[in-house]
Structure 1
Amino acid sequence: MYELLRSILVEDLQLTEADVRPDVDREGAGLDSLALVELSMILSKKFAIEISDDEMLEVETVADIARLMEERGPRP
């Protein structure tokens, strides 16, 4: 799920690829509150992964977002 998140952050949100690492905090990756809202919308529309804006604001690292995606993603 991390690779999908990384792809979205770099391609859709135009974040710097070198800054997007699992251990980096939201701010270090370039995810301000507006970017987190946009990420939440992308995940919902493209992948049916529902993570609220408030939940996005509570996560600390990029890995935490990937973990939430894994938990909320569609099950086979």
Structure 2
Amino acid sequence: MATTIEIDDLRELVAEVLDVTADSVTEDAHFMEDLGVDSLLALELAVALERKFQIRIESHEMTDITRLRDVHELMQRKVSEAA
């Protein structure tokens, strides 16, 4: 049975890594434009997600991640594949 990932849990993790408030990490907030994410922060976020969910994120997958909803979709898919 696949694990369901709560978007609010992801919001907290993303906010912590990006050093912003959880309220600013909306589903539609653009990481680069709205939250100031650069390539180093994107890498830190990928590492944090890999550790928390015990999955592997390929670099090409991170290039498609621009918003919280993208992170949620990717994590749901990765965790389902690993199950």
Question: Same-fold call, TM > 0.5?
Answer: yes
RMSD (Å), alpha carbons: 1.8
Long gaps (5+) in structure 1: none
Moved segments of 4+, more than 4 Å: none
1:1-76 equivalence runs, <5 A: 1=5, 2-27=7-32, 28-73=34-79, 74-75=82-83
Q: Number of aligned residue pairs: give it.
A: 75
Aligned partners of 1:29 and 1:62 also within 8 Å: no
Residue 72 of structure 1 and its aligned partner are, at CA, apart by 0.3
TM-score by length of 1: 0.77
Residues 52/62 of structure 1: CA separation in 2 closer, same or farther (3 Å cut): same
Kindly indicate whether structure 1 or structure 2 has the higher relative contact order, using CA contacts under 8 Å at least 6 residues apart: 2
Residues 6/68 of structure 1: CA separation in 2 closer, same or farther (3 Å cut): same
Rg: which structure is higher?
A: 2
Long gaps (5+) in structure 2: none
Residue 4 of structure 1 and its aligned partner are, at CA, apart by 1.9
* Identical residues among aligned pairs (%): 31
